[in-house]
Chains A and B, each alone.
Chain A
Amino acid sequence: MRGIDCSTGSPIESSKVNKAIGLKTKIIDEDGLFDMLRKTAPQPEPEPQPQPAPEPKPRQPPAAPASGGASGAAGGAADARAPAVERAPALWAEKYRPQRVEDLVGNNDHVKRLVQWASTWEANARGGKEFRKAVLLSGPPGVGKTSAARVVLAALGYDVIELNASDTRSKNALQQTAADMLTNTSIAAFATGGGGGGGPAASSKLALIMDEVDGMSSGDRGGMQQLVALIKTSKLPVICCCNDRSSQKVKSLANHCLDLRFRKPSSREVATAFLKIATSEGYRTDLPSVEKVAVACNGDLRGMLNLLQLWRPSGETLNGDAVAKGATNDISAGAFEVWDRFFKQATRGSPAYKPLDGRLRDYFVDSSMTPLLVQEMYPSSPGLSVGNAPQAQLAALNRMASAAESIAESDVVGSRIVREQQWTLSPLQGVLACARPGFFAAGGITSQARFPAFLGRFSTANKRQRLLRECASHMQAQASASKAEVRCSYVPALRSALVRPLKTSGSDGIEATLALLDEYSLTKDDYDALVELQLALGDKKEGEDLPSAVKSALTRAYNKSHRTEPRKLGKASRAAEPSRFDEDGALDDDAEAEDEDEEAEPVAAKPKQKAAASKGKGKAKAR
């Protein structure tokens, strides 16, 4: 086929075309091609019928007994469970979703309690007020919360309505749909003449599963309160599931629910369960290798099934080797599992050799933690500790310096990423922060990873910066120094001036110390900060070696003088700081309390409040 030059419209002349002409190949143009296609195309079929749905869903239109007065709400729910029944889904995690209570893996106690709760629900709900009408199942993903809820309810003959995060669950939506359902009974119940407005008939009871309640987000405004309200008046059992039990939203719900916290099943339990599945899928495997996968998946049964299904096509058997191979690629590991890979000593061609993109993948496992681990550990690499030969030592020091320099460069890149949102620089940071230091300090670290000291030190530094800032702002009126200058000049001087009287004359020096504190408008907390902000080469820090009797006497004296006496204002021309002082805060509290009293409080409440206020004050001082 021969085209035309787009810009000139003339046929393309080129060596290939010339050769084709020389070989007398048939040359066609675009139209010629279409002609050829038309001639050679097979006889067009008659307009294809729209494929009928693979299997008609028999349950949906006529036999949705649950719908009744709330067809809108139940529609989604029916959809949700329909596929599981009709045809075996390709996904193992769905295909082998537990169908019976016995199929559930792990958390046997909780399942038992759930069964007991559900089976006695009707009797209890009508009777005792103490009875919790709802259950809250919480736990990490993939441990079988939703499965447990479905299976247990199904076993007890309930029709399940399920609302999850994909449904709107705002206050209004819940009110309109769920409220109808919860206070109604199914039409089927009337049909069988079971209950007539009272309890639903045994054959078609309804239950509600609220899945993923911690996912009720800002779009679901008021949904949680509405849910709690529903539970209180509910005539059906309600099971709520969530991952994050500690979430603030879930906490309020938990007060109204029977609280069942699902744990991860042990890797042995998971592995045993999988072996059954493997047998029915014709996947040959053994317990130890499956257990290894289970450990890597961290008890997430669903995740493990998905992973193993992914591996299945690559072979009939699953053994230790396959696990090791797959694990490097597909199992998501944490920074603590991957950091040492950067220090592996491997030349090109050896099995442990990993090209740069592989190393980068390790970096991206946890791009904030891995660099810190590498930074923490690189000087400990055996590759840098060489014998006593000076030349070798020098070479090692050079490599160490290069590693450290690379890490320093990565910090510059990292701050670019953070400050300017230049995320395209991430791979570069990976190279600088992990791959290069690992290369320079290669030598196969075998020692245990230390937790990066940077994190702890960083938070200490932040805390002390705050202390210093407070301190500097308190003395701002007296001392004209920036924060850094306060730290470098004033802190050492003030500290020794404050500690000296206590050291030389013990408790008698307290007066002088407090006077100096007042002069600079400093508080006792600032005094403690001054003592803390010190770099001692030996063990003893100035001010910490005072006898504890003197220390506590100082605290007492400070509390006493700063609670009862009106604060000294220092020099007449220099009034300092109204709001920062502790005792001022306390005075304010009292004033407020009195204000409240005058406004509306009954007289009896007064002493109590006062006591509370002074108690709080005492506590604050004791710090």
Chain B
Amino acid sequence: MVLLVDKYRPRTLDGLDHGASLSASLKRLVAGGDFPHMLVYGPSGAGKKTRVMALLRELHGPSAEKLRVESRTFKIGTHNVELTLLSSPHHIELNPSDAGNRDREVVQEVIKEIAQTAPVVGAAADGQRAFKVVVLNEVERLSKPAQHALRRTMEKYVSTCRLLLICTNPSKVIAPIRSRCMCLRVAAPTHDEICTVLGSVAQKEGLKLPAGLAMRIATASERNLRRAILTLEACKVAQYPFTDNQPLQQPDWLAYIDAVALDVLHEQSPRQLLKVRGRLYELISSCIPPDLIFQQLTIALLKRCPKPVQHEALHHAAIYEHRLQAGQKAVFHLEAFLARFMSVYKKHMVMSQR
């Protein structure tokens, strides 16, 4: 009894529901048994990881799915860094950014060590595929020094190892790395494609999904296929049989952000700012990424305010978001943006009353 999203995850390149041309070219690429370093990028829920796994399966057959998770502690200098490794006989997957400030050392020591040693399994069987595949997740979260440390490793050990880098935002990956990789963009599925996938999932589950509801789910999940299928499941629990206009189950954090936006629009005062600050703290401390909070909050505010305010607020949002990326204490930036928005909104209200 897994969630539907994992139950019907495609396992092969042929089984992928969207981006058929990309799948076809990937298939041709690995037909020779080899491929270059790759940087796979695209928004969340577009199917980057699924595609990478399907690619590995294409290359190595079903044994690539024998996954094993282990948590290993690496001694780097005087510090211990704990990393979770996900591995099959043919590849190793890790999240170097989990090491936080020590990500550079992880790249220098751990990845290099993995890359240096030739693979044991597979190498003997067929000589041509004598390389390891290392999948690195969330590459854009690596610090700049860590990314620079990766450059040399990529070149030097190309005979024993291929890197598959996965990220959502390639502009945060330094250009030298991008140039060493074949960059693959995995685009988010269109609304129609999502509807098709939802339909087929529903069919396999024996559910009757009205087209209207499917479209609403697709729109609400912002072309994030994972979120769409999870929403479908939540909807099924809330109400089945489906109706076209049944309410969609929003994730807790989206509802919460909406409430913050309503607070801000309801009253603009220092007292209200203090109240909102508490809610921002709550959002951040329950692990919602600050840039996502910023984005959703801006959308929620703009939806509900008049055009002139939208323009000015958007202008400020861009500036404050940039600062958020450069700073460390996210709550300061979110709060500053909301304080600015309050003043902009109030100005408009006062002007329009005259």
Q: Which residues in A have some Cβ–Cβ distance to B below 8 Å?
A: 375, 379-381, 384-385, 390-391, 393-394, 396-398, 400-401, 403-405, 407-412, 414-415, 418, 453-454, 457, 460-461, 464-465, 468-469, 473-474, 476-485, 487-490, 492-494, 496-497, 500, 512, 515-516, 519-521, 533-537, 573-580
Contacts and interface: CB of A to CB of B under 8 A. Distances in A.
B270 A384 contact: yes
A477 B86 contact: yes
B62 interface: yes
Interface in B324-348: 326-329, 331-333, 335-336, 339-340, 342-343, 346-347
A394 B343 contact: yes
A537 B256 CA distance: 7
B216 interface: no
A394 B252 contact: no
Contacts of B327: 408, 411-412, 414-415
Contact of A576 (B69, B95, B270, B281): B69
Interface stretch (B105-113, B188-196, B282-290): B282-290
Contacts of A520: 2
Interface in B51-77: 53, 62, 65-71
Nearest to B296: A488
A394 B347 contact: yes
**B-side interface size class:** 35 or more
Contact of A412 (B138, B285, B326): B326
Q: Which 8 A-B pairs have the closest CB atoms?
A: A480-B49, A473-B84, A404-B336, A408-B336, A404-B339, A411-B327, A379-B270, A397-B343
A477 B67 contact: yes
Given A480-B53, A512-B1, A408 B281 contact: no
Contacts of B66: 573-575
Contacts of A576: 67-69
B96 interface: no
Contacts, number: 223
Nearest to B253: A535
Given A408-B320, A574-B66, A496 B237 contact: yes
B273 interface: yes
24 contacts: A379-B274, A400-B270, A403-B339, A407-B336, A411-B328, A411-B329, A411-B332, A412-B323, A453-B281, A454-B281, A454-B331, A457-B285, A461-B287, A474-B69, A477-B69, A478-B6, A479-B5, A484-B289, A484-B292, A485-B44, A488-B253, A493-B5, A496-B234, A535-B252
B346 A476 contact: no
A492 B331 contact: no
B332 A379 contact: no
B322 to A, nearest CB: 9
A489 B253 CA distance: 10
A122 to B, nearest CB: 48
Contacts of A579: 70-71
B255 interface: yes
B17 interface: no
B9 interface: yes
Contacts of A410: 332
Contacts of A534: 252, 286
Q: Binding site of A, secondary structure by majority: helix, strand, loop or mixed?
A: helix
B292 A488 contact: yes
Contacts of B277: 379, 453
B112 to A, nearest CB: 22
A404 B233 CA distance: 42
B235 to A, nearest CB: 11
A400 B328 contact: no
Nearest to B86: A476
A397 B336 contact: no
B270 A537 contact: no
B350 A391 contact: yes
Nearest to B259: A537
Interface string B35-49: 000000000110001
Given A380-B270, A483-B138, A493-B230, A575 B68 contact: yes
B351 to A, nearest CB: 9
Contacts of A575: 66-68
Given A401-B340, A490-B230, A473 B329 contact: no
Contacts of B252: 492, 534-536
B288 A500 contact: no
B137 interface: yes
Given A412-B326, A480-B50, A574 B65 contact: yes
The interface centre, meaning the residue of A457, A474, A492 with most chain B CB atoms within 10 A of its CB, is A492
A396 B342 CA distance: 11
Given A390-B350, A482-B137, A408 B323 contact: yes
Contacts of B45: 485, 489
A356 to B, nearest CB: 22
B352 to A, nearest CB: 11
Nearest to A578: B70
Contacts of B243: none
